[in-house]
Amino acid sequence: MKKYIIYFGILVVGLFLGWLLFGGSSKKETEHNHDAISETNQMWTCSMHPQIMQPEPGDCPICGMELIPADGGSDGLLADQFQLTENAMALANIQTTVVGKGNVDGNTIKLSGKIAENEEANAVQVSFFSGRIERLNVSFTGEEVRKGQLLATIYSPELYAAQQELITAASLKESQPALYKAVRNKLKLWKLSENQINQIEETGKVKENFPVYATVSGTVIEKLVEQGDYIKQGQLLLKIANLNTVWGNFDVYENQIDRFKKGQEVLITTNAYPNKEFKGKVDFIDPVLNTKTRTVTLRVVLNNKDDVFKPGMFVTANIDGVTSNNDQVLTIPASAVLWTGERSVVYLKTNPDQPVFEMREIKLGNQIGNDYEVLEGLFVGNEIVTNGTFTVDAAAQLQGKKSMMNKEGGKVMTGHEGHLGLDNYSSNEENDHTNMNERLEVSAKFQKQLKAVFNDYISLKDALVKEDSKSTSASATTLLKNLGKVDMKLLSDNEAHNHWMTLEKKLKFSATSISNTSDIKVQRDHFKHLSSHLINAVQLFGVNEKVYVEFCPMADNNSGAYWLSKEEKVINPYFGEAMLTCGEVKQVIE
């Protein structure tokens, strides 16, 4: 028995010593393995550009700085959610706000609008007889004319014959008074005055050229004829607007119509006179809704005797003391909203304790001060990004999540793949330009700056035709430089501003992707996206040049792809010499 007790004691002591000797190392090995796994899942970011996320160390594809380890991960997040590091939040000064309800009573609602001619005061100057314009005294559009002013002199064969009839009828007025009266009435119908008719009758002389006098006073807004033109009876010569009063036309959303009524006082402001306010009253509210914009037109008549307002000028209406059947509205700061075409998006902070975000599409109402009404998409208590929204959007794009540019999400292209940008664009991107083909009015200076970008694009396209990847990359770099010189401040219209803000970002991503690689296959893939975005830009803003939109059905693995050209002849940039003439002209942008 003692023998077995001794053996059992030796066994227990041995197990205890083994645990002391090897237990710690096993724990250390487990910890080492866990660290190795963590290291394998480690993401790397740039201290200056926290939107950059890569699975391995290296240099920042934007500034070239060495990447640093990113904190945390995105384990446990939903498909559309993504997480930023605390370091990225601090560097980009990303701020959030909890959405709440605000009362619009006592606040000022701002409406955007445009000055137009008062159509009730407009007039047209017509010719009352046919003939040839011997002299036109109106030199240019915008010229002021007064009632009774000589506008033109016209040689009219039929008027010449009618004068001879009058002279003959005057000698027979005693014997044929009805004929005499009929000839005089004929000349009156051609707007000859009693004095003119009497002068012809008394002198017995026929006038070859007859004057045309202005029937109203105002400003010439359109000149429809030139000196030497042959005109018909009743033909329009000039359009004249009396600009002593003008209209301010403003858009009101359908859910806000009940807040406005005829006779309501309005304060008008304009960038042309930033320190002045002009009073007006609501004169008309359009009974027909615009089904595209879901708005109605609210018209304000403005006194313009001092020639302050110019037709086409952008103005803002500030309306105080509005009331509504639903006076509680949900509002968010304007800085929280990103616009892309018809879409308005914000970024929702889905976890109050962690920097986890998700894109949310919303529907906006009127602007109230520096806030916008939210009609759909948000609820009271939601926390949204109100500062640094673009940085959060860039992070979403690079992590392949839903974003302003890519509402479907897609795989991230990281630095080790040789370029920066998104691999998956919207599936309908190739045809996006067909939905954005309405020309916006912009300054010639903006068009000139855009044309410099377009010329760089043509150089890039020509380099792809020659299969010269080095020149392609260089042209993309030059394009990026000229893209940075395009001055968005030249766009005073909100719609144009929002469209360019979206397109500029897309163009920059595509051009950067092309410049950062020497692989011509990858360059052509991004050239497809660059072309789609630039087609949108040229259609919207114009470059003062005829541009051809061409299409190859075999590009992009037989999905088809577009490009722009200055010439009608098809020279395909997607295949080089292999299929140089494959394609056709799909559209001409004048």
Domain chopping of the chain, boundaries: 1-40, 108-118+243-320, 120-241, 425-589
Alpha-carbon gap, residue 188 to 210, rounded angstroms: 14
Q: Put residue 148 in one of left, alpha, beta given phi > 0 → left and psi -120 to 50 → alpha.
A: left
CB 537 within 8 A of CB 446: no
Q: What is the pLDDT of residue 424?
A: 33
Three-state SS string across 528-577, please? Answer: HHHHHHHHHHHHHHCCCCCEEEEEECCHHHHCCEEEEECCCCCCCCCCHH
Residues 6+ apart with CB under 8 A from 387: 93, 94, 95, 335
Give residue-wise pLDDT tens across range 520-535.
989 998 999 999 889 8
Residue type, 258: D
Q: What is the pLDDT of residue 436?
A: 42
CB 87 within 8 A of CB 47: yes
Which of 129, 153, 138 is closest to 239 using CA atoms?
138
Which of 155, 167, 172, 232 is closest to 197 using CA atoms?
167
Alpha-carbon gap, residue 37 to 461, rounded angstroms: 45
Q: What is the pLDDT of residue 523?
A: 92
CB 49 within 8 A of CB 63: yes
Q: What is the DSSP string of 123-161?
A: EEEE-SS-EEEEEE---STT-EE-TT-EEEEEE-HHHHH
CATH architecture of the domain with range 108-118+243-320: Beta Barrel (2.40)
Alpha-carbon gap, residue 473 to 208, rounded angstroms: 71
The residues with which 478 forms a beta bridge, in sequence order, are: none
Alpha-carbon gap, residue 71 to 427, rounded angstroms: 33
Residues of the chain with pLDDT under 70: 1-42, 47-53, 62-63, 70-76, 101-108, 321-329, 340-342, 368-370, 405-438
Q: How many degrees, rounded to 5, is the angle at CA 355 between CA 349 and CA 357?
A: 40
Q: What is the pLDDT of residue 429?
A: 42
Strands (E), 217-259: 218-223, 230-231, 236-241, 245-253
Q: CA torsion angle for 8, 11, 16, 22 (degrees, to 10)? A: -170
Q: What is the DSSP string of 171-205?
A: TTTTT-HHHHHHHHHHHHHTT--HHHHHHHHHH--
DSSP code at position 336: G
| Mode of pairing for the β-strands spanning 218-223 and 100-103 | unpaired
Alpha-carbon gap, residue 193 to 188, rounded angstroms: 7
Residues 6+ apart with CB under 8 A from 508: 480, 483
CB 523 within 8 A of CB 514: yes
Q: What is the pLDDT of residue 49?
A: 59
Which of 316, 370, 421, 399 is closest to 97 using CA atoms?
370
Alpha-carbon gap, residue 431 to 422, rounded angstroms: 18
Structure tokens at 22: 């090897």
Q: What is the pLDDT of residue 28?
A: 47
Work out the number of other CB atoms within 10 angstroms of the CB of residue 483.
18
For residue 554, give Cα distances in angstroms to 406, 433, 531, 583: 25, 19, 16, 8
Which of 13, 89, 28 is closest to 349 using CA atoms?
89
For residue 332, give Cα distances in angstroms to 32, 86, 316: 49, 24, 20
Q: What is the pLDDT of residue 19?
A: 60
Q: Which fold has domain 120-241?
A: OB fold (Dihydrolipoamide Acetyltransferase, E2P) (2.40.50)
